[in-house]
Amino acid sequence: MAVEEVGGGDSDTARDRDLNAGELDALKMLERLGVHLNQIEDDMLLFNVCEWMRHRLTGQSPVRVPRSCLADIFVRFEGVKAHSSMCGIFVASTGYVELVVDDFNRFGPGFFRLKKTARVENGRRCNHEVVKPLVLSERNLVDVNIHLTSRDGVCIEISPASPLCHLMTSTGSPRKDLSRDGYPRLGYRTTVKVLFGKSLPQAQAEEYARELLASLFYELDVRNGVRLRTRRWPDQRAAKRVVGSPNDKVIRYPEMKVNPEISSLFGFAGTAVDNPSLAFLSYYQILEYYLPLAVKRKALREIGKEVSDPLFDKASPESLMRVLSLGERSFHGTEASQMRTLVEECVRAGKMEEFLSGSEESEHFGKRGPIKGVGVVSAGNRQQSLATQVADRVYAIRNRIVHAKDDPKYDDAPPILPQSAEADALWPDIYLMRFLASEVILDVQSGI
């Protein structure tokens, strides 16, 4: 196997490896998109993972494409740009959007079912054949290739990725060895390609494609039982510290007694890395589980103080009504007020202030934070306690995730959708929820 090293972007070195002029031009354009050639291996080109995707890697596997497609990789892709939010590319001149598609089917691959059983009703002609890009296909895998056309000529195709989209969205080939049938396993993805056939501004084309694919994926789910979705670009922000300072060198026999359901929710929330909304709600369920306990505990303490008061008169209707109102308040309070009680009763104020004291937290939870309509958390607020601010924010975010109301009065706080910029920005709030959940679990352990 011949392997030739290529210096990053060095044209003279590349020429020494017999790259022709068309290939050299393509490499220069790829470098401007954040894709850099690493080496040549027989008839394959090995690239470093694109700068957009690099931090998602667990290893350093290269991205592989056949050398035969390099010279034509930008054909009909003039002026290509990265999609603004999803893993994919956009070409303004033809209104072309190509996005990576993930297959989320529980009972066997949905792509396989589409390939083997789905019948495509499509007799309309379009311009797709004229501008259709080269696509990458592995001979040892079943590839789906579905082409749908509207009456006005808009095309949707589900097929193997184009070489350019593959280079910009791949995290590398999963294996270097050979898979079944002796063919290399190259990690090519399936993409959905939307072609409007006319020049469109990027924001407009992306919005049209988003609406169109939302309808397509819904119908594929309901009519065909196939669950697909596009993928957002990885989060570029550095991961925040976890709660406290973990003692990762000492493993002990468990000394805490944690409810199995609570442990399951806590563990699941930590694994929902691709669904921030679900991670938030899993931690919220832990808080929700302990709401009655915190409310009752506060009510019992207040009732105890009331009946222990030397001025309490058990023969007085007024004294008895005060006790009754305390009991009623514990059972009839709103969930928002109960959440305030839980945070005030179970979370250590000093720990909470310490958790929220970092510069990243001040920015995220402040007035200019990315999550709108959910309140601000500031230690300098003299009108509300920190616990009240945190509880109100937690409850407001929960409502924005759970409640999707088609009503103009909710325009200021629309739903936080699973795949959205706000959902991706939730992570500081999720870490806050993790902190709150761990504090509540610890408080319950005390038995006080």
Tens-place pLDDT, residues 2-37: 545 555 444 445 444 578 888 888 899 999 999 999
Q: Which of 7-16, 55-64, 146-155, 286-295 is predicted least confidently? A: 7-16
Residues 65 and 90 in one domain: no
- Over range 318-323, report the average pLDDT: 68
Inter-residue contact 163 to 72 (CB < 8 Å): no
> Is residue 150 predicted with pLDDT exceeding 70?
yes
One domain, residues 322 and 383: yes
* Predicted local confidence at residue 238, as pLDDT: 44
**Do 284 and 403 belong to one domain?**
yes
Residues 115 and 151 reside in one and the same domain? yes
Q: Which of 228, 259, 290 is the last residue of a domain?
A: 259
The H-or-E segment that residue 252 falls in is none
Query: Per the structure, how many domains does the chain have?
Result: 3
Q: What are phi and psi of 90, to 5 degrees?
A: -140, 140
Phi and psi at 373, nearest 5°, equal 70, 25
One-letter amino acid for residue 314 of the chain: K
Over residues 396-431, the pLDDT tens digits come to: 999 999 886 555 555 566 888 887 888 888 999 999
The one-letter amino acid at 159: S
Fill in the amino acid letter for 30. L
Query: What is the percent of the chain with per-residue pLDDT over 90, rounded to a whole number?
Result: 26
In the structure encoding, which two tokens stand for residue 47, read together? Answer: 């690239």
- Average the pLDDT over 118-142 and give the result: 67
Residue 88 has pLDDT above 50, yes or no: yes
Bigger pLDDT: 294 vs 139:
294
Does residue 2 lie within any of the structural domains?
Answer: no
Residue 359: name the closest of 349, 368, 350 by CA.
368
pLDDT of residue 145: 79
Tell the burial category of 281 from Cβ atoms under 10 Å away from its Cβ (0-12, 13-18, 19+): buried
The answer to whether position 334 is within a domain reads: yes
Q: Which whole number is the average pLDDT over 236-246?
A: 50
DSSP β-bridge partners for residue 46: 39, 64
Residue numbers of the domain that contains 172: 80-259
Q: How far apart are CA 438 and CA 287, in angstroms?
A: 10
Distance CA 32, CA 35 (A): 7
Whether 128 and 190 share a structural domain: yes
pLDDT at 153 over 70: yes
Domain's final residue, options 259, 285, 302: 259
Q: For 260-283, what is the mean pLDDT?
A: 88
pLDDT of 318 above 80: no
Query: How far does CA 294 lie from the centroid of its chain?
Result: 32
Q: How far is 192 from 145, CA to CA, in rounded Å?
A: 10
CA dihedral for 197, 203, 204, 210, sign (positive or negative): positive
What is the structure's pLDDT at 77? 81
- pLDDT category, 130, cuts 50, 70, 90? low
pLDDT above 60 for 245: no
326 within a domain of the structure (yes/no): yes
What does the pLDDT read at residue 385? 92
Q: Is residue 15 part of a domain?
A: no
Tell me which of 232, 259, 286 is where a domain ends: 259
Helix, strand or coil, per DSSP, at residue 318: helix
User: Do 381 and 404 sit in the same domain of this protein?
Assistant: yes
The amino acid sitting at 230 is: T
Q: Do 151 and 234 reside in the same domain of the chain? A: yes
- Mean pLDDT, the chain, integer: 79
DSSP annotation string for 107-153 = SS-HHHHHHHH---------SHHHHPPP----TTSPPP-EEEE-TTS
pLDDT above 80: residue 195: yes
The pLDDT assigned to 140 comes to: 54
Residue 228 has pLDDT above 50, yes or no: yes
Residues 176, 46, single domain; the answer is: no
pLDDT at 148 over 80: yes
pLDDT higher than threshold 90 for residue 280: yes
Of residues 1 and 390, more confidence is placed in: 390
Residue 156's beta-bridge partner residues? 148, 194
Beta carbons of 158 and 114 less than 8 angstroms apart: yes
Is 267 among the domain residues? no
pLDDT band at 137 (very low <50, low <70, confident <90, very high): confident
Instruction: Tell me the average pLDDT across 220-233.
Output: 83
At residue 293 the predicted structure's pLDDT band, cuts being 50, 70 and 90, is confident
In a domain, 10, yes or no: no
